[in-house]
Structure 1
Amino acid sequence: MEPLDTEADPRVVGPFELLARLGAGGMGVAYLARRIPLEGLPDEMAAAYRLVEPDHDQEADPAGLVVVKMILPRLLDHQPQARERFAREVDAVRSVVSDRVPALRGADPEAAEPWFAMDYVAGPSLQVLVKESGPLGVGPYAALGLALVDALRAIHGTKLLHRDLKPSNVVLGPDGPVVLDFGLAVLSERQSSQALTRTGDLMGTRPYMPVEQLRDTKHVEEPADVYALGATLFFALTGRPPYPVMPLMSPPKWDGVDLAFLPLLAQVLVASPSQRPDLDGVQESLFTLLADAGLTLEAATAQLQARVAEAGLTPELPRRALADHADPAVRELAQHAVDRGDAPDAPWAEDDPGFYGIVDTDEIEWAADATDGPDAPGGHPPTLVDPDPAPPVAPAPQAGPSGVPGPAPTSYPLPPPRPRDATQEPAATASSASQSAPRAARNVAARIRERYAHRGEL
């Protein structure tokens, strides 16, 4: 977990305040974030952002932390299918309802820089735990395996495949293992004409994929995920994948694998998908392993939780993540956009050339409680607008009163204030803005309803 780059990373994405950078992958960048409690957020905006309120106890978790994933801009320029693949990742995360998969909290695949937000799981990855504190024993191993069976059962139950299950995509959270990263998820019964993956394409992580996926990612089925589950369990015992580079037709080397674990792994890590057990078979083998060790599932789960706690590898949260409210300056900027009727990321802004302006750095200073200008004692001085402005340029981060840089520009351009005639009506208030959304907002909402009408969600 790294601090935000104030010159490159936005502070706001949609209605979420970014707090830290979690990492980057092949398709995007992931941030730790929190939902900004905005007043008067129109239903059209909430619907377009697919916002979902958490069903857990907010008093027990006031921070409401999420992970915001944004697609890499270069992919949009060089890979025409990147946006659609990202949108399908959003649909995949939203469709799977399970304690073993993070819940979707919001998304905007059609934004200039597409993003989605899902629950943050506080804990180390299986990759980090095993590398830092060693292989798992029988109880934690079986508890891990049964949790992964539950996750894949939920994923396959929605006609999805994961296609990239591996130790780094398994997080050991307070409530047990959770499976992340649906970037390669695919509808198992999708028609060929709808497929983004072509015959012969290779996607996934070679040391944890089966031979059939190495040959043709598009046409793999559920046994490919079962193999990846076995390869992940192999790592949990040995600290290495079954094969160092890619899957082979011959069996892996069983060095470091106790005889008690061989019956299951030897059945799963085979080249022929038809010879592998299904998820029910894997579950039965794991329960047999527990019974032979004289353990119940509850005892094994407690052992896994104790192992994670003793390792002390849960990432430390930044101080702002521990606060019970969003940054006031950031909240002010986001609220200002909502009050004006401009949704964050401006996906439905009116087609007005003057609408897209640069971020008013005076507004940032004002929101950050900077000192008022000399011409406006006790208030904020107005910003004059050039009727024929030069092409907009990104403003430099502004320093607050303590010398610490203020919030960087949001992920969406805030327009500069417009001059007003004395005969004009007063500006709309926050309450009136919430009752009358812009025309473009209503148009986008109508398109969204039409697109998802068959799902009965909107």
Structure 2
Amino acid sequence: MHIAPLSPHDPTELGGYELLGRIGHGGMGQVYLGESPGGEPAAVKVIKPSVVDSETRLRFAQEVEVLKTVWGARIAALLDADTEADPPWLATEYIDGPDLSRHVTDNGPLPSLLTASLGATLAEALATVHKQGLLHRDLKPANVLLGPNGPKIIDFGLAVFAESSVSLTAPNTVVGTPSCMAPEQANGVKPLTGAVDVYALGAVLLFASSGHLPYQAANIHVLFHQVTDPATAPDLSGVPDELVPLLTAMLAHLPQDRPTLDDVVQQCRAVIEAQGFKVAQARRRLTTHTAAPTPATPQAPGEPLPAAGAATVPYTSEQEPAAGSSGEEPGAVATTLLLPPSGPEATPTLPVEPAPDAVPAGPGATTDSPTPQRADVPAAPSPAGTPAPTGPAGSRPRRVRHSAQARITAQRLRETYAARATF
């Protein structure tokens, strides 16, 4: 993941978190990579001073209260927050990986096995959210981050308690992302039910498996008409045949015609098992396939930024598009990925000698993936008498980036281990 340097106007510390760089922005604020005094990374979300008013603070405080309530292995956890600070901020778990939108755009759609694994994982996560009396209401590809330990759901800024009559939006106002919005949500029906998240998950899985969303239009009014018109069927072109029945049901126009989240999990399991895999094996393949090639590292002072291309944690604005935002999909709520300009690689690499019989270790190692993408292999120690490279005096030591040879070596190690594994 790329991290842009702080601007002269950015704070360098908030609530005890040292801010290391920018990782996303939107119409309402900025997201920074922060670090706690103990070294814990965090995504620190800050409201812009220009939009801070009583209503914005109230909505921000609601988001914090929701994040205090929601929990789960596949949910980015709240770490800390201060809605009364100037500016208001909150810190959540930092996920080192691209969002689903960026991954599919850069690498193409996922095969049906991995899409089914993603579906089972996210459906189970949403079921946990629903058990806590909450609805996400804005699930979309940009709100699914593909971290080194699997996918996680972010951005509960629109989440509300199911059946709650409390709302911070004006009457007859629809808030969300139209291209992933259930028809009843687009029509302003209240109260909403868990079926809206089932529909949104269907849209996410459609995008993951085909590279496009259920409805596409250049005009927001046309898009809303397509979503709310029962005679206009969602576009399922490019979806693998084994996923068509499930996605057709999840994207049904009427909420009562959609499966429950438990049904979605079971149908995704059936797709996985029909291909001869166990669910845990499919999950490992998904994680290996989507894992970022290198860990995120803030740029050292004076160090050129790497080439652009990796995604950042998105910041979603419910009010206005960010300046310069091209938009994730037609009619979407503004989501901007801040990518730095390309530049030469400045950090030296250390050689790694091949060792075919070694067993890889660390969070990136798996036993059933033929094409791993990560290479978490430590560099060989410096020869005796050769001092290790160091940075400028007083600066933090830089992490050594893996060379192409190191990645090749890591791949050979994992393939060797996978071939000898018993499962």
How far did residue 201 of structure 1 move? 1.1
How far did residue 21 of structure 1 move? 0.6
SS at match of 1:29: strand
Structure 2 counterpart of 1:163, from 134, 137, 141: 137
Structure 2 counterpart of 1:231, from 203, 208, 211: 203
How far did residue 319 of structure 1 move? 4.2
Percent sequence identity is: 40
- Alignment check: 8 A CA contact 2:163 2:192 kept: no
Structure 1 counterpart of 2:156, from 168, 177, 182: 182
How far did residue 239 of structure 1 move? 0.8
Structure 1 counterpart of 2:72, from 84, 95, 98: 98
Question: Distance between the aligned counterparts of 2:246 and 2:118, measured in 1?
Answer: 14
- Alignment check: 8 A CA contact 2:181 2:199 kept: yes
Deviations, residues 395-416 of structure 1 (Å, cap 9, x unaligned):
xxxxxx99x9xxxxxxxxxxxx
Structure 1 counterpart of 2:113, from 128, 139, 144: 139
SS at match of 2:52: helix
Deviations, residues 10-30 of structure 1 (Å, cap 9, x unaligned):
000111110111111243211
Higher helix share: 1
Check 1:126–1:202 CA distance in 2 against 1; reply closer, same or farther (3 A cut): same
| TM-score normalised per structure 1 | 0.61
Aligned length: 293
Counterpart residue number, 2:287: 305
Counterpart residue number, 2:267: 285
Structure 2 residue runs of 5 or longer lacking an equivalent are 218-222, 302-391, 396-423
How far did residue 85 of structure 1 move? 1.0
Question: Distance between the aligned counterparts of 2:67 and 2:256, measured in 1?
Answer: 28
How far did residue 71 of structure 1 move? 1.5
Amino acid paired to 1:274: Q
- Alignment check: 8 A CA contact 2:60 2:83 kept: yes
How far did residue 218 of structure 1 move? 5.4
Question: Distance between the aligned counterparts of 1:184 and 1:129, measured in 2?
Answer: 24
- Alignment check: 8 A CA contact 1:18 1:34 kept: yes
Question: RMSD across aligned C-alpha pairs, in angstroms?
Answer: 2.2
SS at match of 1:224: helix
Structure 1 residue runs of 5 or longer lacking an equivalent are 38-62, 322-400, 405-458
**Where in structure 2 are the equivalents of 1:258-269 lying within 5 Å?**
258-269=240-251
* 1:13 and 2:21 are equivalent in the alignment: no
SS at match of 1:22: strand
* 1:72 and 2:54 are equivalent in the alignment: no
**Where in structure 2 are the equivalents of 1:83-94 lying within 5 Å?**
83-94=57-68
SS at match of 2:289: helix
SS at match of 1:165: coil
Deviations, residues 249-301 of structure 1 (Å, cap 9, x unaligned):
22112211121111100101111111111111111111111122121101101
Question: Distance between the aligned counterparts of 1:131 and 1:107, measured in 2?
Answer: 33
How far did residue 130 of structure 1 move? 0.8
Structure 2 counterpart of 1:214, from 169, 174, 186: 186
Question: Distance between the aligned counterparts of 2:49 and 2:186, measured in 1?
Answer: 28
- Alignment check: 8 A CA contact 1:208 1:232 kept: yes
Whose Rg is larger?
1
Question: Distance between the aligned counterparts of 1:111 and 1:4, measured in 2?
Answer: 24
Counterpart residue number, 1:244: 216
